């Protein structure tokens, strides 16, 4: 396949708030003919901050398996040559396009080894969502949209699963544990299936996009959200390399 690779350097990136999606109507699944691909890398330019450190004061047999007494929490996770792991890349406000990826079972977040697993994930708006406890200690999973509680669940027993719903409109949901202050996780409820979470080297790829001009947002919890306009052409690959700074 012929690929027209375009390099987009994000220079004057506008720092924006994460919310504020313009989409007001429900996403419509259509057959996408000759869609385009968006791919690239998210890179961090700057001094990588030291990990945050938390003293483990309880549940040490589960939460402190390496015996250091300290949980080290990277504020930004770097992979390869400045690549950013766990950044969310998504097209904001796209009203119609490809179908959602079919998943096995209900999406979930796991309390595992006194951390949230996965650290970052994207799920559909309004989906059922489970909170799981894989540890033999009490976790108290408290989820927020900004400062507002979405749900607050005590999970005293290993193997517990509690089902709740994700918000019906696009929101970033922060997960904390009221029993273990260091625990942190993120779930983005997306109203469309055009998203990716960056992997090794900060790489991402979003496929089968109807031709058009879109707003692409990139979010990482230490850096915040940034936005760039991108034009997708039929059957072609557009490369978007995003430089994050703090």
Site residues (vs Cu ion, CB under 5 A): 139, 177, 179-180, 183
Cα separation, 83 vs 64, whole angstroms: 29
Minimum CB separation of residue 207 from Cu ion in Å reads 37
- Which alpha helices (H) appear in 38-178, and where do they start and end? 60-63
Cα separation, 200 vs 132, whole angstroms: 26
Cα separation, 43 vs 241, whole angstroms: 7
Q: What is the DSSP letter of 158?
A: T
Helix, strand, or coil (residue 117): strand
Nearer to Cu ion, 86 or 111 (CB): 111
Nearer to Cu ion, 183 or 189 (CB): 183
Phi (first) and psi of residue 202, to 5 degrees? 80, 15
Phi (first) and psi of residue 83, to 5 degrees? -65, 145
Nearer to Cu ion, 139 or 217 (CB): 139
Return the residue nearest Cu ion (CB atom). 177
Q: Output the six-digit token pair for 181.
A: 């202050």
Nearer to Cu ion, 77 or 139 (CB): 139
Nearer to Cu ion, 64 or 243 (CB): 64
Cα separation, 116 vs 112, whole angstroms: 6
Nearer to Cu ion, 115 or 171 (CB): 115
Can you say whether the dihedral through the CA atoms of 235, 236, 238, 239 is positive or negative?
Answer: positive
Identify the helix (H) or strand (E) that includes residue 162: strand 161-165
């Amino acid at each position: 396949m012929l690929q027209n690779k375009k390099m987009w350097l994000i220079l004057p990136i506008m720092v924006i708030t994460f919310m504020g999606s313009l989409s007001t109507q429900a996403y419509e699944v259509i057959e996408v003919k000759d869609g385009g691909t968006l791919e690239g890398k998210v890179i961090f330019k700057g001094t990588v901050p030291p990990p945050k450190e938390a003293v483990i004061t309880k549940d040490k047999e589960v939460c402190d398996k390496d015996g250091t007494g300290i949980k080290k929490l990277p504020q930004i996770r770097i992979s390869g040559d400045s690549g950013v792991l766990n950044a969310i890349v998504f097209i904001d406000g796209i009203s119609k396009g490809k179908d959602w990826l079919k998943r096995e079972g209900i999406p979930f977040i796991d309390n595992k080894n006194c951390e949230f697993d996965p650290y970052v994930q994207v799920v559909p708006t309004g989906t059922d969502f489970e909170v799981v406890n894989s540890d033999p200690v009490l976790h108290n999973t408290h989820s927020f949209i900004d400062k507002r509680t979405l749900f607050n669940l005590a999970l005293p027993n290993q193997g517990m699963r509690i089902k709740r719903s994700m918000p019906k409109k696009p929101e970033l949901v922060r997960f904390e544990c009221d029993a273990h202050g260091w625990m942190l996780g993120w779930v983005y409820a997306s109203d469309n299936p055009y998203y990716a979470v960056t992997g090794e080297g900060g790489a991402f790829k979003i496929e089968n996009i109807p031709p058009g001009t879109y707003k692409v947002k990139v979010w990482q919890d230490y850096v915040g959200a940034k936005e760039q306009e991108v034009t997708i052409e039929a059957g072609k690959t557009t490369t978007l390399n995003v430089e994050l700074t703090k």
